[in-house]
Homo-oligomer: A and B are copies of this chain.
Amino acid sequence: MGGTEDTPEVGAEHAGLSRRGLLGLAIGGGAAAIAAGGVGGYALAAAQRSGGSDEAFAFFGAHQAGIVTPVQEHLHFAVFDMMPRMRKNDLVELMQDWSYAAARMARGLEVSATGAVGGSPESPPDDTGEALGLPASGLTVTFGFGPTLFERDGEDRFGIRDRRPAALQRLPPFLGEDLVPGSSDGDLCIQVCANDPQVAVHAVRNLSRIAFGRARLRWSQLGFGKTSRTTADQQTPRNLFGFKDGTANILADDKAALDDHVWVPAADGPGWLAGGSYLVARKIAMLIETWDRVRLAEQQRIFGRDKGEGAPLSGGTEETEPQLSRLDADSHVRLAHPDTNGGVRILRRGFNYVDGNNELGRLDAGLFFLAYQRDPAHFVTLQKRLSTDLMNEYVKHVGSGIWAIPPGAAEGSYVGAGLLS
């Protein structure tokens, strides 16, 4: 990251990262401090560029970055729970502080104006420093609100229960899942994507640090090798079964499909979520050693595509629309196809993961599935349809979560302002 800024951050001196936090203090010092501090009104020159690791995506905007942004190479997904005795004001300040830091990091800057080395030598630095000198690397930071943030064990901790979207409910149980609490649920999620894993890890670490005393990291997941594309010029990547995945994904330039399937329309309510989305995360362990012993013809029958080209088994090339009736009735492509599901489509943005290996010497690996949709019921429809998927013999869902993804923040504001202010 490119060192500290020229503009001093008025009113934002602080001893370490106190509970009041960075942007909280900036606001306390007057609204002018925000503009001076760099959140408002800067020219995001880097965002005009694209391609290469120095590309940068604007944090502020109508929608949060990290949804239709071309999928980056690396993921660090982090889920937080609010600490005991936190009130609404703490949540507001946390979202302000997180938004402030995320907006800076998206520009390739450190989390504050003094950053890793620009503060007093007698204080701990604001920024942990491992991304010093690295470019923005396409970093996006996407925040979400889980069902428990609105109500947990009948308690309305933050006074927002009546603003909860009716659709924001813990997902129903699905056949064959075996969920681990350490990879499921949580008050707040942060999806961090970047083309450099050090930049992604730096973001999660510093956001976690900013949350100190207010929210605690509940679980996290690193991923690589994006398994979906969101622009037509991205090559369709392969999952750990060796197959191209996400050929028929919703693409970023298909505005009609995004409006139909991804963005929550104002009519759906609540108003604060209009232009937002719902994120479903599923940690899907793959029994890759078992899969690897399946003969090629059977692997292809299960997917409904050939392994080399990625073409539907009904013929053609990767981009050819499959003729569903010519595929096995329980093949993945057929069951997941919109025509089998009343036209339902979702925007997939998953990553492969390898979490080391188990005691039997098998890789602890799989797909960290991430999908955005305007209505969680769309995912539920699909997942229920997949209950007879031939692939189920080789996968196990071990983690699950759902979060409402608010729309993007206006410059000078913060993610969640529509809900919290």
Contact = CB atoms under 8 A, between A and B. Distances in A.
Given A205-B363, A297-B122, A133 B238 contact: yes
Given A132-B308, A235-B133, A352-B198, A116 B242 contact: yes
A184 interface: no
Interface string A229-258: 000000101111111000000000000000
Interface residues of A, number: 68
Which A-B residue pairs are the 9 nearest by beta carbons?
A: A129-B242, A198-B225, A121-B297, A217-B361, A117-B308, A216-B361, A197-B224, A130-B238, A121-B296
Interface of A: 3, 16, 74, 76, 116-117, 119-125, 127-133, 196-198, 201, 204-205, 208-209, 216-222, 224-225, 235, 237-243, 288-289, 292-297, 299-300, 306-308, 352, 354-357, 360-363, 365
6 contacts: A116-B307, A128-B288, A129-B242, A204-B363, A208-B363, A219-B356
Given A288-B205, A354-B201, A361-B216, A296 B123 contact: yes
A119 B289 CA distance: 18
Q: Count chain B CB atoms within 10 A of each CB in A76, A218, A238, A294 and give the residue with the most.
A: A238
A219 B121 CA distance: 41
Contacts of A120: 295-296
A221 B296 contact: no
A297 B121 CA distance: 5
Contacts of A76: 354
B217 A292 contact: no
Nearest to A360: B216
A299 B132 CA distance: 16
Nearest to A218: B361
A296 B220 contact: no
A130 B240 CA distance: 6
Main secondary structure of the interface of A (DSSP, over half): loop
Contacts of A16: 293
Contacts of A204: 363
Q: By CB atoms of chain B within 10 A, which of A124, A220, A243, A361 has the most?
A: A361
A194 to B, nearest CB: 11
A196 B127 CA distance: 28
B197 A307 contact: no
B128 A292 contact: yes
A405 B121 CA distance: 44
Given A217-B361, A357-B219, A122 B295 contact: yes
Contacts of A361: 208, 216-218
A121 B132 CA distance: 50
Contact of A217 (B130, B209, B242, B362): B362
Given A129-B238, A198-B238, 16 more contacts: A116-B242, A116-B308, A117-B306, A122-B295, A122-B297, A129-B241, A129-B242, A132-B307, A198-B225, A201-B365, A205-B365, A216-B360, A217-B361, A218-B361, A220-B363, A355-B356
